[in-house]
Amino acid sequence: MTVVEMLGCLLVTFGAPASMFVVTVARKPLHVIMLMASAFFWLLSLLFSSLIWLIPVQMGVGKFVMGVVVSVLFQELFRFLFYYVLCKARLGLEAVHNQGKQERKPLNMLAIYYSAGLGYGLVSGAFATVNIFRDLSGPGTVGIAGQSQYFFIISSFMALAFILLHVCWGIIFMGSLDSDVLWRNVTGVIGVIVSHLLVSGLTILNYSYDDKKPNYAGSITLLFISLVAMALWAYNIAGGSGRSLKHFVHPPQSNRAHAAQD
């Protein structure tokens, strides 16, 4: 039974991101490379944050809170470093993209940012859930010692939300830096860092001690509200608008007629 539940939670966490990878990234070699490269940069951020994390612990500062803050700041620092390297390699990437093509086409950088965010999110979700899934695989019964029986499923949904948030953050962060308007650069970078800190802080609501029970309902609700807000912001960065979204949901009659003819 524990193995079945583990597989279910595994699909909750990685089902949608895996589908996104297969449908939107897997058939594009350059995007796969960007996904793997961004995942490597996330691993570097984990390495450096784990080293720096030892300093506040030795000073007696709360290791949980400082661990969250240090980890988030290093993740965003290495997201910027990835963007910097990407800008330096843009001409080479465009040459690879147009290799063997008669007509040169500009590289869709927003799609690259999407792939990079997905790589960031996938490796982040994998490291966040590997120990949870190991314990869930059994043997044992969830909640037998008085703990919440919803811990594993809530953890799976939270990991899913963070994976999708990393996709949105990648588009917002790097898409904003591409803008020639200074306030867009600043708001994009600061907005991603602040939202990353806030949603990471929501995990504190799931921490139980003494007689305090974890507030799963509050944390998961606020987390998915943040996901919707970041998705709308990323949609705007990508050039979307309320009108285009309305046309997508309710296509005009002329578009429906053309689609029927095709």
The domain segmentation of the chain, as residue ranges, is: 2-240
Q: Residues 162-188: pLDDT tens digits?
A: 999 999 999 999 999 988 888 889 999
Q: Residues 23-43: pLDDT tens digits?
A: 999 999 889 999 999 999 999
**Predicted pLDDT at 60:** 54
CA 123 to chain centroid, in Å, comes to 9
Q: Residues 139-155: pLDDT tens digits?
A: 766 655 556 778 888 88
Tell me: pLDDT of 204 over 90.
Answer: no
**Predicted pLDDT at 5:** 79
Tell me: pLDDT of 107 over 60.
Answer: yes
The two structure tokens encoding residue 229: 């807000």
Residue 56's pLDDT band (cuts 50, 70, 90): low
Sign for the CA dihedral angle at 157, 161, 166, 167 comes to positive
For 251, list phi and psi in degrees, rounded to 5.
-60, 145
Helix (H) or strand (E) holding 153: helix 151-177
**Predicted pLDDT at 147:** 65
Are the beta carbons of 241 and 225 closer than 8 angstroms? no
Rounded to whole angstroms, the Cα distance separating 225 from 204 reads 17
Stronger pLDDT, 15 or 238, i.e. the higher one = 15
Q: What is the CA radius of gyration of the chain?
A: 21
The two structure tokens encoding residue 180: 């020639």
